[in-house]
Amino acid sequence: MLKYFHAWNCVFEGLPRPFWNLLKHFSDLEYAWEKAGLAQLELKGLRGPYIESFIKLKKSGDPFGQFDDFAKNGIKMFSFRDSGYPSALRNLNNHLPPPVLYIKGNIPTDRTYLSIVGTRGMTSYGEQVTSYLIKKLAAYKICIASGLARGIDMTAHINAVNNGIPTVAILGYGQYTVPFHLIGICNKIIENGALISEYPPHLKAQKYYFPLRNRIISGISKATLVIEAGEKSGALITAKYALDQGREIMAIPGNIYQEKSIGTNRIIGEGSASLVASFNDILDVLGIDKKDGSLAELASLNQKSVLDALSREPLSRAQLIKKTKLSPQEINVVLTELEIESYVNKNRAGNYYIIC
């Protein structure tokens, strides 16, 4: 049956609406392909270029040859009926789920998904914020979803890979047509995450594919974070999808004089997006308790040493120096870092303790 999902997806060139219209009339896609006559198909709404495409592809048999090659090319295919299909995509409210997904790598199933999107022409501020937040997210069971576009999307994927966070890239083209300059990062993504496309692997990018795939970026995630977005940024399309799908939206406020902040500031002002003023705001929206973060994954060995010492009891600065064998200067730096990141605090006696 799965090969017929691919065959019909080729007829419709990955577009979900005509595919779902077919499924409304033919739950058995093998019957629709092999036994339903043209008159019956036309009566059920298959017309124009889709009839022409069906006739051509049925005669050539190309979709079935393509299907047989998926495994050797590292592609796993799932229909919406399969257990491997992401459950979050089954309910996109007013937006149609992709009937078919083509996947390279493996979709993480035990993590909270956060979509990070933004402008292609990011500023240095946008790059810094993206890098900073993702580094902090490494202590939690998060998967980053984005669209593999240059700018914020690419920065999100690269930083996720560099910090050991699984990431999934939602493509606006088929798996075989990934641009050459993206092959390197794609190979790194599939080591711990996945490339996902609703388009048959041989299809090249079309302009209208990109805004359409944005519903998958938002739909697969519990929340979408918009880092930077101009007035007409595609990231705002993703945010609109998230709103329609009942997902959470967050945005980073930006400089009022900066064009790349117009979109983010507007959706915050309209109330459709929660303002992110600190890293903890992201955890709050995702419903993640800060203490669920793995303190063992914090950046520096010095931080781990101090946290290990404080795990038993509150300690003074002098006691920490003695227990950790760190210098006074090193202790000062580490305590400042941990206080800023809200991992430790100081009680009235002047002793430091871990915030639970």
CATH number of the domain to which 311 belongs? 1.10.10.10
110 and 252 assigned to the same domain: yes
Count the Cβ atoms, other than its own, within 10 Å of residue 90.
Answer: 10
120 and 252 share one domain = yes
SS3 117: strand
- 74 within domain boundaries: no
Same domain, 211 and 278: yes
Inside any domain, residue 119: yes
Q: Are residues 283 and 301 in the same domain?
A: no
Same domain, 194 and 113: yes
Q: Which two tokens stand for residue 45?
A: 């709404």
* pLDDT for position 303: 84
Relative to beta strand 194-197, strand 142-146 is unpaired
- Pair 109, 243 in one domain: yes
Both 235 and 109 in a single domain? yes
- Examine residue 90 and state whether it is found in any structural domain, yes or no: no
Task: Report the domain count for the chain.
Answer: 3
pLDDT of the residue at 294: 57
Give a yes or no: residue 39 inside a domain.
yes
Residue with tokens 């890098």: 131
Q: Which residues of the chain have pLDDT under 70?
A: 291, 293-300, 356
Residue 33 domain flag: yes
Does residue 328 share a domain with residue 218? no
Domain span including residue 301: 295-354
- Residue 44 pLDDT: 85
Residue 87 within any structural domain of the chain: no
- pLDDT at position 356 is 59
Whether 130 and 186 share a structural domain? yes
The alpha helices in the chain, defined as continuous H runs, are 2-11, 16-25, 29-34, 38-43, 49-60, 62-69, 124-137, 152-162, 183-192, 209-219, 234-244, 262-270, 279-286, 301-310, 317-324, 328-340
DSSP bridge pairs for 145: 115, 168
pLDDT recorded at residue 296: 43
User: What CATH number has the domain bearing residue 135?
Assistant: 3.40.50.450
Judge if 118 and 238 occupy the same domain.
yes
193 and 246 assigned to the same domain:
yes
pLDDT digits (tens, 9 = 90+) for 55-107: 999 999 999 999 999 999 999 999 999 999 999 999 898 899 999 999 999 99
Q: Is 230 helix (H, G, I), strand (E, B) or coil?
A: coil
Sign (positive or negative) of CA dihedral 262, 268, 273, 275: positive
Q: Would 336 be classed as within a structural domain?
A: yes
Residue 79 lies in a domain: no
Position 338 scores a pLDDT of 85
pLDDT of residue 169: 98
- Map tokens 């709050």 to a residue: 284
Whether 258 and 303 share a structural domain? no
